[in-house]
C-alpha cells in the first residue's frame, strides 16, 4: 500500500482562513476590490421642487449635477402641458392679472370683474402660446433642451450672470451648447401672435417688440429665481 507524504501546513492557520474567505474577483462581476464610481447627484435638500411657493410652476428647472436623459418631442410636449396647465399656473396668472389690472397696463380693458377676466385670459394665452413655441415647437425643431440647468455653485454674481446668460445660450439634445433660438425666436413668435387678440393699438411693431422684451426679461428673472430657490428653500425657509 503506497504511503502518502504529509501535506505541508501553512505558516499560520489564519493565513489559510484568509485565503478561503477571500476568493478572487468574479470574472462575471469584474474586480470587486475597485469601488464603482457613482454618478454625481444633487443633495435632496437642494433639489428643485415642481412649484415655487406652491404658485409658480417650476417644471423646467433641473438641479445642479443631476443626471437626466435628453427630452424627445413627446417629453417636450409633456413639459409644455405641465408648465401651462398645472393648477399653479392658474393661480400665477391670476396674480399677474391683478397686478396688470391695478397698473392699468391695457386701459381699453376698463375696470371691474369684466376687466379682470380680460386681463386673465390675455395673460393666460400669452403664457400658453409662449410655452408652446419655446418648450415644444421650436425646441423640437432646433433640437434644443428647453429646461433650465442650474449652476448651483459659486458666488451670487457668478450664478446670476449664468442664469441670465441662459436666455442666449442653451443645451442641445446632444449635450452641447447653442444659441437659444427656442427662447429668442419662440418668444418673438408668441409676441407677434398675441397681436391677434389684443386691441388694435397693440398690434404695432413697437408694441410687439415691447411684449417680446418683457417676456425675455420675465424669463430672465425666473431663471435667477430657479437658480437660488433651492438655497432659499433650504437655508432661509428651512424646508426639506
Gyration radius from the chain CA atoms: 28
Percent of the chain with pLDDT over 70: 80
CA-angle at 158, arms to 187 and 76, nearest 5°: 35
Query: What is the pLDDT at residue 9?
Result: 44
Q: Whole-angstrom Cα distance, residue 104 to residue 23? A: 79
Instruction: Assign residue 141 a region (left: φ > 0; alpha: ψ between -120 and 50; beta: otherwise).
Output: alpha
Q: What is the pLDDT of residues 107-155, one digit of tens each?
A: 889 877 889 999 999 999 999 999 999 999 999 999 999 999 999 999 9
Q: Whole-angstrom Cα distance, residue 229 to residue 237? A: 10
Give every CB contact of residue 176 below 8 A, 6+ residues apart in sequence: none
Query: What is the pLDDT at residue 54?
Result: 82
Q: What is the pLDDT of residues 177-216, one digit of tens each?
A: 999 999 999 999 999 999 999 998 888 999 999 999 999 9
Where in the chain are the domains? 54-61+68-236
For cell 447653442, name the residue.
178
Amino acid at each position: 500500500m503506497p504511503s502518502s507524504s504529509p501535506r505541508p501546513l501553512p505558516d499560520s492557520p489564519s493565513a489559510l482562513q484568509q485565503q478561503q474567505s477571500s476568493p478572487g474577483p468574479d470574472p462575471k462581476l469584474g474586480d470587486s476590490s475597485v469601488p464603482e464610481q457613482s454618478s454625481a447627484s444633487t443633495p435632496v435638500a437642494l433639489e428643485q421642487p415642481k412649484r415655487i411657493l406652491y404658485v409658480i410652476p417650476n417644471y423646467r428647472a433641473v438641479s445642479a449635477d443631476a443626471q437626466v436623459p435628453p427630452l424627445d418631442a413627446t417629453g417636450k410636449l409633456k413639459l409644455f402641458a405641465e408648465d401651462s396647465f398645472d393648477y399653479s399656473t392658474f393661480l400665477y396668472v391670476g396674480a399677474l392679472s391683478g397686478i396688470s389690472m391695478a397698473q392699468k397696463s391695457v386701459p381699453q380693458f376698463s375696470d371691474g370683474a369684466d376687466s379682470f377676466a380680460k386681463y386673465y385670459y390675455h395673460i393666460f394665452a400669452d403664457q400658453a402660446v409662449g410655452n408652446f413655441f419655446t418648450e415644444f415647437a421650436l425646441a423640437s425643431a432646433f433640437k434644443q433642451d428647453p429646461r433650465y440647468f442650474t449652476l448651483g455653485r459659486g458666488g451670487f454674481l457668478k450664478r446670476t450672470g449664468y442664469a441670465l446668460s441662459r436666455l442666449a445660450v442653451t443645451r442641445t439634445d446632444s449635450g452641447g451648447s447653442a444659441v437659444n433660438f427656442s427662447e429668442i425666436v419662440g418668444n418673438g413668435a408668441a409676441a407677434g401672435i398675441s397681436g391677434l387678440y389684443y386691441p388694435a393699438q397693440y398690434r404695432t411693431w413697437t408694441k410687439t417688440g415691447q411684449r417680446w422684451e418683457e417676456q425675455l426679461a420675465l424669463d430672465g428673472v425666473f431663471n435667477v429665481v430657479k437658480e437660488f430657490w433651492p438655497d432659499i428653500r433650504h437655508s432661509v425657509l428651512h424646508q426639506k
